[in-house]
Structure 1
Amino acid sequence: MGVWRIDADVLASSRFVVSPMVETVGCLAAFTGQHRISATQREWLREYEPVFRARWGADPFALPFLRDAIRPGWLADFLVRPPRVEAPVFADDLARVAATTDEHARRDILETMDRPLTPVLHEDGLVARAVELLDWAWRHTVRPGWPRRRRVFEADIVARTGRLGTGGWAAVLDGMRPGMRWLGDGRLQINAYDYPPRDVTGSRLVFAPTTSARGWVSWEEPADVHAIIYPCTGWLAQDPDVVPPGALASLIGPARARILTLLAEPKSTTQLVALTGQTLGSAGGHLRVLRDAGLADRRRAGRSVLYYRTPLGDALCRGEPPVSSSGSARPPRRR
């Protein structure tokens, strides 16, 4: 199995980042049909696969390149260089890809490959055409929905970092991506492949969420930055643009209705800020009103305070007020 040796200093200085390039590469992988597709990507493919096929379906380079460079179990290193800043910009990371030589790119693609390179990839201009494909994918299929994706990723990051206070790094790392778990004694299993252990001591460690089903790991020499790209899954990937029932929005206001809808699973104020784009003060004010009305309540989980819907809040989100055993509507909770 692939194991990284990580000391306490590396973990303490590690960072979570949201990367447009990471998400673009993950989405490009979905177009090939060779990879497991997440539920989020499946929905996205329904809208954008026809757009991709119309532009690139007859192109002699695009699909052969994707099949060779982003094949199951392997992504060419020049496409997945680890993020080096806390707020990566797509244009900057695209320039890093563009700086790769064709020969270097071919070596990356051929690593672990058990068949010859597709002939079109031997032609000059491989990297330039890959850059064109990446840029198109970002501008036409990822950037249109990027604000929503970013809010989902930010909420995921808030939830995962919040686990540090209750379960330590084992709670954060276990199950972050398929085959990954904390083994203890400074050892992190990153996948189930039979690779020799890798010493990450003295390096920077970066985590980045993606809508991909599996994610990946990456580094570049000199290996001063290692990245773990992990799938944003489960309730953490809840759609932040979910639309509350119209009657509920009319009753309590659209901002409060949206927060109440998002509380289908417990969330902290910081998570709600990330999902809705509201200020901390606004989100906190709406939560106070919802609690006073008996629609939401809160509980402490370690160092975090999580808000959740009451039965009355659940019923209103379904469009049906709850009824007590006596047949009357339940009264709101009093402070």
Structure 2
Amino acid sequence: MGVWRVTADVLATSRFALSPLSETFGALGLLATGDAPPWQRAWAEAHRPAFRARVAADPFSTDLLDQVLGHKWVPDYFLAPPVTREARVTDELATVRATPRDVALADLAVAMAGAPLPVGVQVPDPAGATADLLAWVWEHTVAPDWPRRRRQLQADITARSAAMTSRGWAAALADLGPKIRWLGEGQLQINAGDRPPRDLTGARLFLVPITAPRGWVMWDQPHAYALVYPAGGALAPTSPTTAPTALRDLLGATRADLLTRLDTPASTSQLAAATGLALGTVAHHLRVLNAADLIHRRRAGRDVLYQHTDLGRRLSRTAEEASDPGPSGRAV
């Protein structure tokens, strides 16, 4: 499945979407493998003992993680494309639970790539057992952190939507993954496989960001397809301030930091995700900077983006030059 063929109609109806269940599945993988990226290491270490105890007490979960999910193919019934811009995890889990036993076992067998199906997963209701495991991961490890994660994912959507508006699909799809790229002429490369191209004519296409470092594809043939990808940018708050000292002294550390970050357009949610500040706090400081004519705002679809004005850019650069140490290590 190296290439998806997408018509102009598919592109026109494509949407970015949030999927709590996709975020949960990504979290499941990080907890199971112990291979969490730096920005999620503390979270994984805090939840892994309880997760391991939950898995050890359930033969289905043990065999599922040890033998089935160790292969590259995720069983189809685990995940389906969202049907709205922001799916509800209860609805997504209900879709998993509704999978008939024979369909779930067939999907598990495909994921095993010809190896014998483990006894532990051959339970009366494998789909229900799968949903129970995913629900536990959601409730105990993801849901308490969902507001912060949601801000980060929405920030990625905002940035990519703005890029698509100004520079087209190739810009919106940049950096979705090492093997994903827009080839032009209606062709979207999703991996380096040599499978025949898949024609998405008449289907809906969703792009779903997650905070885990690796993505996947999913579908409900022939109606909908989704490309799940790691959200771009830093997924943890960056340094408290990157602004020059002179600018901090003039504006205060928070406003100086926000102004420094606005060399490129960003939304309130994106800035909150990058700085770790509350949305209300960011919004207040942006209003002050806007009133001082240091930044301006413009609408991009449903989002409002902020960026330097010429005055704000000159102020930032002047302050940076004033704070730049000379050869003696002192300001010149």
Q: TM-score interval w.r.t. the shorter chain? A: 0.7 to 0.9
1:244–1:199 distance in 2 versus 1, CA, 3 Å:
same
Per the alignment, residue 45 of structure 1 pairs with 44
Per the alignment, residue 197 of structure 1 pairs with 197
Q: How does 1:172-183 map to 2 (within 5 A)?
A: 172-183=172-183
Whether contact under 8 Å (1:38, 1:211) holds in the other structure is no
Q: How does 1:18-57 map to 2 (within 5 A)?
A: 18-33=18-33, 37-57=36-56
Higher mean displacement: 40-49 or 115-124: 40-49
Structure 2 residue 106 is matched with structure 1 residue 107:
yes
User: In the TM superposition, what is the alpha-carbon distance from 1:329 to its structure 2 partner?
Assistant: 7.0
1:126–1:134 distance in 2 versus 1, CA, 3 Å:
same
Q: 1:223-254: per-residue Cα shift (whole Å, max 9, x none)?
A: 2111000011333x3438x7569x99999678
Structure 2 residue 227 is matched with structure 1 residue 228:
yes
Q: How does 1:120-159 map to 2 (within 5 A)?
A: 120-159=120-159
Q: Distance in 2 between matches of 1:299 and 1:233?
A: 23
TM-score, structure 2 as length reference? 0.80
Aligned to 1:136, what secondary structure does the other structure show? helix
AA matched with 1:47: A
AA matched with 1:84: V
Query: What is the aligned residue count?
Result: 314
1:269–1:41 distance in 2 versus 1, CA, 3 Å:
closer
Per the alignment, residue 322 of structure 1 pairs with 323
AA matched with 1:322: S
Q: 1:293-320: per-residue Cα shift (whole Å, max 9, x none)?
A: xxxx7899x99763489367779xxxxx
User: In the TM superposition, what is the alpha-carbon distance from 1:273 to its structure 2 partner?
Assistant: 6.3
Aligned to 1:278, what secondary structure does the other structure show? helix
Aligned to 1:111, what secondary structure does the other structure show? helix
AA matched with 1:147: P
Aligned to 1:209, what secondary structure does the other structure show? strand
Whether contact under 8 Å (1:183, 1:189) holds in the other structure is yes
User: In the TM superposition, what is the alpha-carbon distance from 1:128 to its structure 2 partner?
Assistant: 2.0
Q: Distance in 1 between matches of 2:136 and 2:252?
A: 39
Whether contact under 8 Å (2:27, 2:212) holds in the other structure is yes
Structure 2 residue 307 is matched with structure 1 residue 306:
yes
- RMSD of the alignment, in Å? 3.8
User: In the TM superposition, what is the alpha-carbon distance from 1:53 to its structure 2 partner?
Assistant: 1.6
Q: Distance in 2 between matches of 1:60 and 1:136?
A: 15
User: In the TM superposition, what is the alpha-carbon distance from 1:216 to its structure 2 partner?
Assistant: 0.6
Q: Distance in 2 between matches of 1:210 and 1:50?
A: 23
Give aligned-pair identity as a percent: 37
Q: How does 1:232-243 map to 2 (within 5 A)?
A: 232-235=231-234, 237-239=235-237
Q: 1:53-105: per-residue Cα shift (whole Å, max 9, x none)?
A: 23323432213112444334211111111111112011111111111122211
Q: Distance in 1 between matches of 2:102 and 2:56?
A: 26
Higher mean displacement: 39-48 or 276-285: 276-285
Per the alignment, residue 318 of structure 1 pairs with none
Q: 1:196-227: per-residue Cα shift (whole Å, max 9, x none)?
A: 11000111110110122220111113x21110
AA matched with 1:239: P
Q: Distance in 1 between matches of 2:325 and 2:54?
A: 58
1:289–1:129 distance in 2 versus 1, CA, 3 Å:
same
Q: 1:169-212: per-residue Cα shift (whole Å, max 9, x none)?
A: 01112431231111111111111122211000111110110122
Whether contact under 8 Å (1:17, 1:86) holds in the other structure is yes
Per the alignment, residue 284 of structure 1 pairs with 286
Q: Distance in 2 between matches of 1:64 and 1:7?
A: 41
Q: Distance in 1 between matches of 2:320 and 2:149?
A: 26
